[in-house]
Amino acid sequence: MKLKKTFAAATMLAGTMTALSFMSAGAAQAQGALVMYCAVQEEWCRAMTTAFERETGIKVSMTRKSSGEIYAQVKAESQNPRADIWWGGTGDPHMQAAEEGLTEEYKSPKMSELQDWAVRQWEQSKQRTVGIYSGALGFGYNTEQAKANNIGEPKCWADLLKAELKDEVQVADPNSSGTAYTLLATIIQIMGEDKGFEYLKALHKNVNQYTKSGAAPAKATALGETTVGITFMHDMVTMVVDKAPVKVVAPCEGTGYEIGSMSIIKGAKNMDSAKKFYDWALTADAQKLGAEAKSYQVPSNKNTPIPPQAPKLTDVKLINFDFAKYGSSDERRRLLSKWDNEVKNLPK
């Protein structure tokens, strides 16, 4: 029996050592520290982290996740918050968190420098979240595939219903992706709810796949797996910059947009650092970093130079997107279940 005991003792010892080595590693120190959940691309997150550290000397612990994952985590951690600031990611989860009181009210002195849409986001959320960038919805097509399939140049939402594009359009599933939900809300706001659903039903015939992730159609378009992909335009631009045969289109009927947002977590352990970061992230200098990290969203500070590759919002016909209505959880649930029942389950 002795060996078994040694074995058991060794196991326990190993377990304890593990616990010790990890627990004593400790996380960020309270003074001059900031825990940040970041929802944009890794490179941009890193650039923000290092620039802020260099500027203020505050040590930033950054974790990158998708916006929905961060929302789920912040909600689960609400009893004992771990993060201080949630930077980036599409606005809906931020609005949802604001609605549930998971985030903190804050009025930054930099508010006057922001674009109207960013301030509106802040007002609608009762000062709990603010816009830091925005991107318009659009679509892109693979020029090689378009030529091979003789499709011409689609320019409008209506063009996507052409019979030649049967099984050639890719878009995410609005149940899993904020991008696709933006499309759903946009189409309804352009055409009205009944006509809008007629359009989506017609589009359903041309959709080859409802992807899980919102940006996935951009990659599929670049690789030629689909001819047309509906995504945020900046996702397509990233593919173009990477020299993929893709052309980005701003639909002629007008289009909706997302507002990438920033919120301070309620009960943040490092509230001062979080506010410092908040103010800094709204400056033009901080917002310049996006384009340098190959992310081509439109920054919210009026003084930030807009990257030349970015789809200029002035050239895009933007609709007056009602974030308060379409961001509320009741309306979202209603539209999603309607889409599930009336569109997704249709035969091809």
Partner 1 sequence: MTRATLGWIVLCWVGFALLPWYGFDRSASPTIADYFVSGSAVAHGFRGAWWLLPILVPLGMTLVPVIRPSLRQKGTWLLASGLLGLALIVLQGFSIGLNGWTMDALKVFGEPGPRQAGMGYGAALASAALLIVLCHGLAARGWCRGDAFITSSIGAVVALILVFVFFPVSTILASAFADNSGNFAPSEFISKFMDKSIWGLDCVTSDLRCGVAWNTLFLGLLVAFGTTALGLAFALIATRTEFRYKKLLRVMSVLPIITPPFVIGLALILLFGRSGALSNLLWEWFGVPRSRWIYGLPGVLIAQLLAFTPIAFLVLIGVVQGISPTLEEASQTLRAKSWTTFWTVTLPLMRPGLANAFLLGFVESLADFGNPLVLAGNYEVLSTKIFFAVVGAQQDQGRAAVLSIILLAFTLGAFWMQHAWLGKKVYTTVTGKGDSGIPLPLPRRVALASYFTAIPWAIFTVAVYAIIVVGAFVRSMGRDYTPTFEHFLTAFRVERADWGLYFSGSAWNSFFATVKVAALSAPLTAAIGLLTAYLLTRQRFSGQRSFEFGTLLSFAIPGTVVGVSYILAFNVPPIEITGTGFILVMCFVFRNMPVGVRSGIATLSQIDKSLDEASLTLGARSATTMRRVVLPLLRPAIVASLVYSFVRAMTAVSAVIFLVTAEYNMATTYIVGRVEAGEFGLAIAYSTALIIVMLLAIVAIQLIVGERRLGRRSASAAPSPVAVQAVP
Residue 88 contacts residue 262 (beta carbons within 8 Å): yes
Query: Does an H or E element contain 296, and which?
Result: none
Letters for 89-118 (x = contact with partner 1 by CB under 8 A, - = none) are: ---xx--x----------------------
CB atoms near residue 29 (< 10 Å): 9
Q: Does 345 bind partner 1 (CB under 8 A)?
A: yes
Q: Does 54 bind partner 1 (CB under 8 A)?
A: no
Q: Does 13 bind partner 1 (CB under 8 A)?
A: no
Closest distance to partner 1 from the beta carbon of 126 (Å): 19
Nearest alpha carbon to residue 198 among 343, 309, 337, 30: 343
Collapsing DSSP states into helix, strand and coil, what is residue 107? Answer: coil
Candidate residues 102, 200, 233, 244; the one interacting with partner 1 per rule CB under 8 A: 244
Q: Does 2 bind partner 1 (CB under 8 A)?
A: yes
Question: Residue 164 half-sphere exposure, CB side, CA atoms within 13 Å?
Answer: 14
| Residue with Cβ nearer partner 1 (283 or 294) | 294
Residue 343 tokens, joined:
């569109």
* Total binding residues toward partner 1, as defined by CB under 8 A: 84
Q: Does 46 bind partner 1 (CB under 8 A)?
A: yes
Candidate residues 200, 237, 332, 343; the one interacting with partner 1 per rule CB under 8 A: 332
> DSSP readout, 23-35?
HTT----STTEEE
Residue 90 contacts residue 178 (beta carbons within 8 Å): yes
- Residues from 144 through 183 that contact partner 1 (CB under 8 A): 167, 173-178, 180-181
> DSSP readout, 217-274?
HHHHHHHTSSSEEEEEHHHHHHHHHTT-SEEEE--TT-B-EEEEEEEEETT-TTHHHH
Q: Which stretch binds partner 1 (CB under 8 A): 153-161, 238-246, 251-259, 310-318?
A: 238-246
CB atoms near residue 233 (< 10 Å): 28
Q: Does 255 bind partner 1 (CB under 8 A)?
A: no
Exposure letters 286-316 (e unless 16+ CB within 10 A, then b): bbbbbbebbbbbbbbbeebeebeebbebeeb
Letters for 272-311 (x = contact with partner 1 by CB under 8 A, - = none) are: ----------------------------------------
| Residue with Cβ nearer partner 1 (22 or 112) | 22
Candidate residues 94, 110, 128, 219; the one interacting with partner 1 per rule CB under 8 A: 219
Candidate residues 56, 63, 143, 328; the one interacting with partner 1 per rule CB under 8 A: 63
Candidate residues 126, 147, 302, 333; the one interacting with partner 1 per rule CB under 8 A: 333
| Residue with Cβ nearer partner 1 (245 or 254) | 245
